[in-house]
Structure 1
Amino acid sequence: MLVLGPLGFAVPWLLSALIVLPVLWLILRAMPPSPRRISFPGVELLKGLADKSPIALRTPWWLLLLRMLAIAALILAFSGPLWRPVVQSQSTGPLLVVLNAGWAAAPEWASRQTRAERALTKAAADGRPAALLIADGRAAPGPLEFAAADTLLASLRAAEPVSWRSVFPADPAQTLANVPDGSLQTLWLDDGLDHPHRVAWLAELTARGPVTVVAPSKAARSLTLHAGDTPSLTLTSADQEVPAILAIGPDPQGIERELARLSPGDGTISGGVTTRPVAIDLPPELRNRVTRFQIEGETHAGAIVLADDRVKRRKVGLVGDADRQLEGQQLLSPMHYLRRALAPTSDVVEGGLGDVLDSAPDVIIAVDQVNMPEIGELAEWVNAGGLLIRFAGPHMAADEDLLEEPLLPVALRQGGRDIGGALSWGDPRGLAPFPADGIFAGLTAPQDVSIRAQLMAQPAPDLAAKTIASLSDNTPLVTRDRLGEGQVVLFHITANAEWSNLPISGLFVDMLNRLVATARVTATEEQAEDREQPFWTPEIVLDGFGREQVPDGLSPVPVEDLAQGPGPDLPAGIYAAGERRQALNAGVEYRLSRWPGATVELVDAPQGRELKGPLLAIAAMLMALDALGSSILAGRKRRVGAITGLALLALMLPAPKVDAQDLNAEITRAANEVALAYVTTGDEEIDETSRQGLEGLSYILRERTSVEPGKPVAIDLDHDDLSVLTLLYWPITDQQPLPSPQAYLRLNHYLRSGGMILFDTRDGDLAGVGGPNMSQALRDLAAPLDVPALAPVPQDHVLTRTFYLLQDFPGRWQGDTVWIEAPPVGAEAAEGMPFRQLNDGVSPVVIGGNSWAEAWAVDDNGYPVYPIGAGWEGERQREMAYRFGINLVMYVLTGNYKSDQVHVPALLDRLRTEEEVGR
């Protein structure tokens, strides 16, 4: 390739034809032979006459210039010009393609493969040996084998990103021991992150030859979980955008959907990487349903955090006196208040201290308990990481040995402080504001909460540091202290309304939930044994794109390997040991890669824009001007012929080539993602309903089938290409304008080439409307279409069983007849076949009025938009509408495949019979 500034030529030798331009100039300017002059006396009679159509003796300079420019444009066009081409380094040595295959490479994986395939194809054409290093850590140890470049294409196309970071061999010199002679050219497809051994590999490769690095064009983002007293997430990104974090899990109906959105906080920047904290600020009952957190818009394993026991609900053990037996006295029991406060968000276990310890809770709440016999076991449990919450009461206040009571955060005075009783001089105290940096930060104490009695703490230098909530007179209300790996918390009041009205306020529930959320997840006795088990078994694993996979062929993982994070033979996922579940997540806080000494290009960098088409157009225009100028010089009689020739030349010019990149981007996406499409009607409400309906159907398809359609596409019949679409939903309105004749040509071609249109008249709720002929608007719109003969869908049609077995096809309405292409005449059931052999192809049209889009429609949070029926029957009808949509899409994609499978036994029997007769 010849490069001149921003211009390159793929066929530079053709430029030598420009040398003939001066010769052509001389030829065109050459005079014809001088004529012989003969004097004729009669010429005297012609003197004074003017020729109305004079003919030039020589070609004008401007016409010569047009012709020269036209020929030059043709020469340049066929020399393969490119604007701003990517110059590939010329090398005769071997080629090494290094492909980062970690989760960060997943977003642009197809572009990376295409770039690597182009390099290998060129190396194969040049006869250069090549090697492929897929940096996923699963390659066999040893030197790379260099072979013919085209033999590596199959391995490249089969490669997929993994759910861990890219892994490079530790010794690059040993891995490159078999490199053939010559300068080694390296093409490194990077994922943007720094990895172990990457710097050593770069130094080794740059010492052996030129290195071209293809950098990602999209900033990498990852999500990590920090499991501490309060589990939280961290968003790490290489840009300043702040995407939402989606909390995903099953809704009350068991359907997995977005449950909530979390907003990242303010970020800190270091080395070009921004980290933002993400608080899991969700109600416990909602948080316990979350199965994973995911960065919105990201499709790779590093953007997903699987939820395990660390973010689930805690088990709380209650230790105290049993409730009073009389129903009217239950409100006097402290256990009643604690039970009602904790039951919605925690698993509550009640009993004696020994029984509660045997259940291995995450939190133990002891209500007015002193001199507990199992105090030694309780101390060991707290030291190991347990959370003990104690409440004061009459028993504790009257204990003579209260100063010697173990497992208290502060030393207590015997007796109690009565600040609101009949025998006291003071008034009940309110609560002081909670410290802004404390565990109760953000909670607001109601003005009517008052404390009438409390246990007082002994003055001590560290009392203020241990106080996490206090009264308006700065006396402690709640104190806390660390004990080993655990913590002890004391409420200096009772857990019932005897000493204060705090337990009957909503603040009491919030305070308990805040404390319980700080507890570590501990194990039961059986689970403790599971934790010490040497192996963990994978239950669910993720691939590099963040999709859940069945862990086929994976062995149990040693516990020491699990602590090192995901890697080869240890993909990200959920691992189990007995009843324990632990998530191994792919996301990490990373550093960006740097490439000193290498040439860096973007993965989606353009390879140069071809100028052949514009130059041919310029040449044709110059030829047309030449023809017009020649006709002017030739005289009036020849102008008509010249203009006619000019018109014919314009008709003979080839139509401009339409590149795939010039197509509508949404249509191209629809083809790549098998997206469903709908016709825009001009009515914004109906068009939005169509979009929401196909969005809901696409979601159901992704959840229940192997079809994974993208976002629905809006179709303008007068402008958009339909040839790449599979299913077109067309809602009918009375005010919808008729498409143009060109649109009908495209529609008929679409129907003949295997496409399907679902016409929805949306009038199934009107009495007496049972078919397509009842809608005048439908008749007007469909009149120019090549619609075959129609008939109601028979019960044995393949549409009734492509995925679900159906007898009706309801939408928001039901009972309306659904019409489809009629079966051919005489297509009756054959012997041995339970169904008729209907038309072998897909019906080009399906017509009905059940308003399916309204039944499928979901809002941005995944909830139904339109009501259907009442109660359970309505939801059942919606479910059947979804099933019809799934059957319809399967029918479009597979045709009569299901019907053929039903016939397989009969066909085999017939073949056996024919073979026996032939013998």
Structure 2
Amino acid sequence: MLLLGPLGFAAPWLLGALIALPVLWVILRAMPPAPRRVIFPGVALLAGLVDRAPIASRTPWWLLLIRLAAVAAAILAFAGPVWRPVVQPAADGPLLIVMDAGFAAAPDWAARQTRVETALTDAAAAGRPAALLMADGRGQGALAFQPADALLSGLRAAQPQPWSTRLPDDPGAALADAPEGSLSTLWIADGTDHPNRAAWLAALADRGPVTVVPPARPLRTLALASGDTPSLTLTSVDDAAPAIQAIGPDPQGIERALASLTPGDATDADGLTVRPVAIDLPPELRNRITRFQIEAENHAGAVVLADDRVRRRKVALVGDPLAEGQQLLAQTHYLRQALAPTTDLVEGALGDVLDTAPDVIVLADQVQLAETLDLTQWVAEGGLLIRFAGPRMAGYDRLAEEPLLPVALRQGGRDIGGALSWGDPRGLAPFPDDGPFAGLPVPDDVSVRAQLMAQPAPDLAGRTIASLSDNTPLITRDRLGQGQVVLVHVTANAEWSNLPLSGLFPQMMERLVATARLSPSEAATEDLTQTFWTPEAVLDGFGRPAEAQGLTPVPAADLAQGTGPDRPAGIYAAGERRRALNAGGPFVRATWPGATVEAVAATPGRDLKGALLAAVALLLALDAIGSAWLGRGRRRGAMAAVALVLAMLPGPRAQAQDLDPDLMRAAADVALAYVVTGDARIDQASEQGLTGLSQALRSRTSVEPGQPIGIDLDQDDLSLLTFLYWPITDAQPAPAPQAYLRLNAFLRSGGMILFDTRDGDIAGVGGPDMSQALRHLAAPLDIPPLAPIPDDHVLTRTFYLLDDFPGRWQGNPVWAEAPTVSSQAEAGVPFRQLNDGVSPVIIGGNSWAEAWAVNADGYAAYPIGQGWEGDRQREMAARFGVNLVMYVLTGNYKSDQVHVPALLDRLRTEEILAP
């Protein structure tokens, strides 16, 4: 390649054609040839006349310049000009390509392969031997140098791995078979530092030049943060804060994003941006999450698999039950109400609940426990013990000897009515910013009337995580082995305070339970109870689920070291326990002393051939305009120029491009449509309802509708639609006459309108004549005679077998086109041939959209019924919606198919009876 400053030419030999430009100049100047002088006497009669359109005897200089410029531009274009090309230094020795193959290389893996393929192709053309080192931690032998083109097949089959990049331990042993001569190295880096990288860089720099290709995209990783409360940590090279998607199965079992988490404020850590991500989700939703993933990132380091550490805790509740009729006075009642929504509760005697391996044990006013030794061991191994005070603990005469207390206590407690009266009840002090209750608001009406007092001690303030307004401890905590003991200095019922009656109490209990470890024997790096962990599901380098094939159980000590070639990122099981091994986490940016680092922006270069060819076309157009102007006169030449310019302008857009993009999408994606009524609540319910119905269709059938669209009957075209949901409201204005023309054309062309009067809970009959608003809106439509849908209508069996069509309301008739008089039931045929096509309208009042509706998180937006009956009614409403859409799309197909068995039986009978 020839370089002239920032301009390079791929075929510089073509530039020699520029020498012909002076010759071309002379030739063009000589044309047209000089006229031959002929003497004709009659020419004297023309003396004095002026030619109004003279013809030049020579080509004008400006036209000649345009033509020469066009020829020069064509020569330059075919010479392969490139602006700021990347020119590799000439080398004739062996080539080594080091390709980082960890998860950090996955985002632009295809571009990395293309770059390496180009380098290998050039080396093969130059006859240079080459070797390819995939830095994935596998294959520790000496590198084999071979013809460069022999490495292409292995390069195309290579994939990034779900662990960080790993180089061989000994660079000298790996390069033992390198040919003699200067070794050129092309290092396709992922931007992170990893073991042995510095040693390899020094060894390669001693053997020859090293060129480093940095990653084109900034790296972002996600990790599960260490601490009492489960949370995530986002580490990135740039300052971006992408959303974190919480992915898991929805109620239908389809895996999708259930929620989106927002990263917190950024902090700088060694040139990297670190953001905390709180897992602030309801326990019911959090327990369904299988993984967290950075939005728009496709590598294993951007995925955090969820295990027991982010799921619902098992809490054991131990207390003395009161007599029948007094359950509402028991401390366990208040604890049950506070913990049941967020945990899995186990109740019983202490010895029994210890056998269930809970994460948390709550003791309500319990002392002198026979299982104290077992409980102490359970706490020391990582359990969380939460104790509540009470009259029994306050009156215990050996309270100072009671084990498993975070602080020493005074006997008798502190009571407003006793000898140690302390005046008015005390309120709560604001929670410390570094405690488990940080950020929780303190209600003004919460007060404490009695408490167990702690003995003064130098470390009492450090063990206090919540206190009263007079700075006396309300909740204290202390570590015991790998676990912790928490004491609440008041009762869990309303006997000593009204805290259990407030909304703050469940929040405080949820925060305390969240500080528990996974199980009593949990230890991140010293798990001696389980020796081996078996991989159940793993990820590939792109963060996609993969089969755990060919992997052996991993020792606990190796699992604690993180991901590697024999332990990819995934879920590992040991007995009933599940532990996630994730690839992401903090990383260190790589530096490259002594190597040449390519600028990412300058890597591809810019080809100028297209721009020069466009200039050639423009110059030729100018030449045509100038020639027409000279040859045909000024006026005709100007007209020709104008015509040529108009011909070069782009034509008007096609009529089809003027259609509403949403309508075009509806036709392409079979999107469901609803009529916009002007009532924001009704329109939102319609959109949510059709969204829920579309999700049901995608999960249960082969129909994959797009996002529903709202239709303005006065403006939008209906010719591209198939199904239209029309909720009827009393205040809805009638459409314009032109809209009714479009609606009638829509009905005649095979479309269907589902009229929903939404009054099934009021009218109770749901007929088409029961709604005055419906009669007013539907009067101009060409609606055929209607009748309640019979039991043998095709709508009852297009996909599901149904005998009712419930929505949010049920028990009301649904109306469709009435069957013809001739449609009689035939002997041996289970169903009549009703509605050979599709009924253009369906009318009912069961409020179907509200039954189908789902909110942004995929949950039902409106309540239906109670308990199991309500869930069944919602399911039957979804089945009716599926039947309805299948009926619209297939027509009488299902009706024909259901007759096939009866027709075959009839033919078989006739064959038997035939003589």
Structure 2 length-normalised TM: 0.73
Question: Residue 470 and residue 619 in structure 1: after superposition, are their counterparts in 2 closer, same or farther (change >3 A)?
Answer: closer
Question: Residue 634 and residue 32 in structure 1: after superposition, are their counterparts in 2 closer, same or farther (change >3 A)?
Answer: closer
Indicate whether 1:576 and 2:573 are aligned: yes
Secondary structure at the aligned position of 1:381 is classed as helix
Secondary structure at the aligned position of 1:482 is classed as strand
2:323 to 325, 331, 339: 325
Aligned to 2:584: 587
Indicate whether 1:617 and 2:614 are aligned: yes
Task: Return the letter of the residue paired with 2:269.
Answer: S
Indicate whether 1:359 and 2:356 are aligned: yes
Indicate whether 1:566 and 2:563 are aligned: yes
Residues in 2 aligned to 1:689 and 1:320: alpha-carbon distance in whole angstroms: 47
Task: Return the letter of the residue paired with 2:310.
Answer: V
Secondary structure at the aligned position of 1:570 is classed as coil
| Correspondences of 1:470-509 after superposition (within 5 Å) | 470-509=467-506
The more displaced of 363-372 and 597-606 is 597-606
RMSD of aligned Cα (Å): 5.1
| Correspondences of 1:516-595 after superposition (within 5 Å) | 516-523=513-520, 532-595=529-592
Aligned to 1:762: 724
Secondary structure at the aligned position of 1:107 is classed as coil
Aligned to 1:312: 311
Gaps of 5+ in 1: 657-666, 715-728, 740-757, 767-771, 783-799, 818-845, 890-919
Residues in 1 aligned to 2:697 and 2:211: alpha-carbon distance in whole angstroms: 42
Aligned to 1:776: 745
Could you give the per-residue CA deviations for residues 810-857 of structure 1, whole angstroms, max 9, x where no partner exists? Answer: 99999999xxxxxxxxxxxxxxxxxxxxxxxxxxxx999999999999
Aligned to 1:836: none
The more displaced of 694-703 and 152-161 is 694-703
Aligned to 2:823: none
- What's the offset of the Cα at 1:485? 2.5
Could you give the per-residue CA deviations for residues 386-416 of structure 1, whole angstroms, max 9, x where no partner exists? Answer: 2222222233222222222222222222223
Aligned to 2:454: 457
The more displaced of 511-520 and 528-537 is 528-537
Task: Return the letter of the residue paired with 1:204.
Answer: A
Aligned to 2:769: none
Aligned to 1:898: none
- What's the offset of the Cα at 1:337? 2.4
Residues in 2 aligned to 1:210 and 1:50: alpha-carbon distance in whole angstroms: 78
Question: Residue 645 and residue 439 in structure 1: after superposition, are their counterparts in 2 closer, same or farther (change >3 A)?
Answer: closer
Instruction: Say if 1:191 and 1:216, in contact at 8 Å, map to a contact too.
Output: yes
1:598 to 591, 595, 616: 595
- What's the offset of the Cα at 1:324? 2.2
Aligned to 1:131: 131
Residues in 2 aligned to 1:207 and 1:606: alpha-carbon distance in whole angstroms: 26
Indicate whether 1:165 and 2:187 are aligned: no
Task: Return the letter of the residue paired with 1:380.
Answer: Q
Residues in 2 aligned to 1:426 and 1:413: alpha-carbon distance in whole angstroms: 19
Secondary structure at the aligned position of 2:410 is classed as coil
Instruction: Say if 1:764 and 1:850, in contact at 8 Å, map to a contact too.
Output: no
Aligned to 2:416: 419
- What's the offset of the Cα at 1:346? 2.3
| Correspondences of 1:51-200 after superposition (within 5 Å) | 51-138=51-138, 140-200=139-199
Residues in 2 aligned to 1:98 and 1:188: alpha-carbon distance in whole angstroms: 5
Secondary structure at the aligned position of 2:27 is classed as helix
Secondary structure at the aligned position of 1:213 is classed as strand
- What's the offset of the Cα at 1:583? 0.5
Residues in 2 aligned to 1:249 and 1:54: alpha-carbon distance in whole angstroms: 84
Secondary structure at the aligned position of 1:75 is classed as helix
Residues in 1 aligned to 2:334 and 2:386: alpha-carbon distance in whole angstroms: 15
The more displaced of 351-360 and 164-173 is 351-360
1:432 to 429, 443, 448: 429
Secondary structure at the aligned position of 1:222 is classed as strand
Residues in 2 aligned to 1:514 and 1:638: alpha-carbon distance in whole angstroms: 88
- What's the offset of the Cα at 1:738? 11
Aligned to 2:21: 21
Residues in 2 aligned to 1:357 and 1:629: alpha-carbon distance in whole angstroms: 99
Question: Residue 225 and residue 38 in structure 1: after superposition, are their counterparts in 2 closer, same or farther (change >3 A)?
Answer: closer
Residues in 1 aligned to 2:199 and 2:871: alpha-carbon distance in whole angstroms: 66
| Correspondences of 1:617-636 after superposition (within 5 Å) | 617-634=614-631
Residues in 1 aligned to 2:12 and 2:673: alpha-carbon distance in whole angstroms: 52
- What's the offset of the Cα at 1:637? 12
- What's the offset of the Cα at 1:78? 1.8
Instruction: Say if 1:692 and 1:857, in contact at 8 Å, map to a contact too.
Output: yes
Task: Return the letter of the residue paired with 2:77.
Answer: A
Instruction: Say if 1:31 and 1:58, in contact at 8 Å, map to a contact too.
Output: yes
Question: Residue 847 and residue 342 in structure 1: after superposition, are their counterparts in 2 closer, same or farther (change >3 A)?
Answer: same
| Correspondences of 1:342-357 after superposition (within 5 Å) | 342-357=339-354
- What's the offset of the Cα at 1:607? 2.7
Task: Return the letter of the residue paired with 1:562.
Answer: L
- What's the offset of the Cα at 1:865? 8.6
- What's the offset of the Cα at 1:225? 1.0
Residues in 1 aligned to 2:131 and 2:816: alpha-carbon distance in whole angstroms: 63
Residues in 2 aligned to 1:865 and 1:497: alpha-carbon distance in whole angstroms: 36
Question: Residue 735 and residue 594 in structure 1: after superposition, are their counterparts in 2 closer, same or farther (change >3 A)?
Answer: same
Instruction: Say if 1:566 and 1:572, in contact at 8 Å, map to a contact too.
Output: yes
Question: Residue 362 and residue 625 in structure 1: after superposition, are their counterparts in 2 closer, same or farther (change >3 A)?
Answer: closer
Residues in 2 aligned to 1:778 and 1:422: alpha-carbon distance in whole angstroms: 87
- What's the offset of the Cα at 1:530? 9.2
Indicate whether 1:390 and 2:387 are aligned: yes
- What's the offset of the Cα at 1:441? 2.4
The more displaced of 493-502 and 303-312 is 493-502
- What's the offset of the Cα at 1:594? 2.0
- What's the offset of the Cα at 1:590? 0.6
- What's the offset of the Cα at 1:676? 7.2
Residues in 1 aligned to 2:297 and 2:433: alpha-carbon distance in whole angstroms: 35
Residues in 1 aligned to 2:852 and 2:22: alpha-carbon distance in whole angstroms: 72
Question: Residue 637 and residue 480 in structure 1: after superposition, are their counterparts in 2 closer, same or farther (change >3 A)?
Answer: closer
- What's the offset of the Cα at 1:614? 3.3
Could you give the per-residue CA deviations for residues 238-277 of structure 1, whole angstroms, max 9, x where no partner exists? Answer: 1111222233334455444434333322222133201122
- What's the offset of the Cα at 1:433? 2.8
1:511 to 508, 530, 537: 508
Aligned length: 783
Residues in 1 aligned to 2:612 and 2:330: alpha-carbon distance in whole angstroms: 92
Question: Residue 63 and residue 338 in structure 1: after superposition, are their counterparts in 2 closer, same or farther (change >3 A)?
Answer: closer
Secondary structure at the aligned position of 2:533 is classed as strand
Could you give the per-residue CA deviations for residues 56-109 of structure 1, whole angstroms, max 9, x where no partner exists? Answer: 443332233222222212211221222333334433333333322222222222
Secondary structure at the aligned position of 2:293 is classed as strand
Question: Residue 345 and residue 53 in structure 1: after superposition, are their counterparts in 2 closer, same or farther (change >3 A)?
Answer: closer
Aligned to 2:223: 224
Instruction: Say if 2:247 and 2:290, in contact at 8 Å, map to a contact too.
Output: yes
Question: Residue 858 and residue 611 in structure 1: after superposition, are their counterparts in 2 closer, same or farther (change >3 A)?
Answer: farther
Task: Return the letter of the residue paired with 2:464.
Answer: T
- What's the offset of the Cα at 1:519? 1.7
- What's the offset of the Cα at 1:4? 1.9
Task: Return the letter of the residue paired with 1:311.
Answer: V
Question: Residue 153 and residue 440 in structure 1: after superposition, are their counterparts in 2 closer, same or farther (change >3 A)?
Answer: same
Secondary structure at the aligned position of 2:130 is classed as strand
Question: Residue 14 and residue 690 in structure 1: after superposition, are their counterparts in 2 closer, same or farther (change >3 A)?
Answer: farther
Identity of aligned residues (%): 62
Question: Residue 106 and residue 699 in structure 1: after superposition, are their counterparts in 2 closer, same or farther (change >3 A)?
Answer: farther
Could you give the per-residue CA deviations for residues 736-782 of structure 1, whole angstroms, max 9, x where no partner exists? Answer: 5799xxxxxxxxxxxxxxxxxx852537999xxxxx99962699999
Secondary structure at the aligned position of 1:552 is classed as coil
Task: Return the letter of the residue paired with 2:406.
Answer: P
Question: Residue 5 and residue 530 in structure 1: after superposition, are their counterparts in 2 closer, same or farther (change >3 A)?
Answer: closer
The more displaced of 676-685 and 332-341 is 676-685
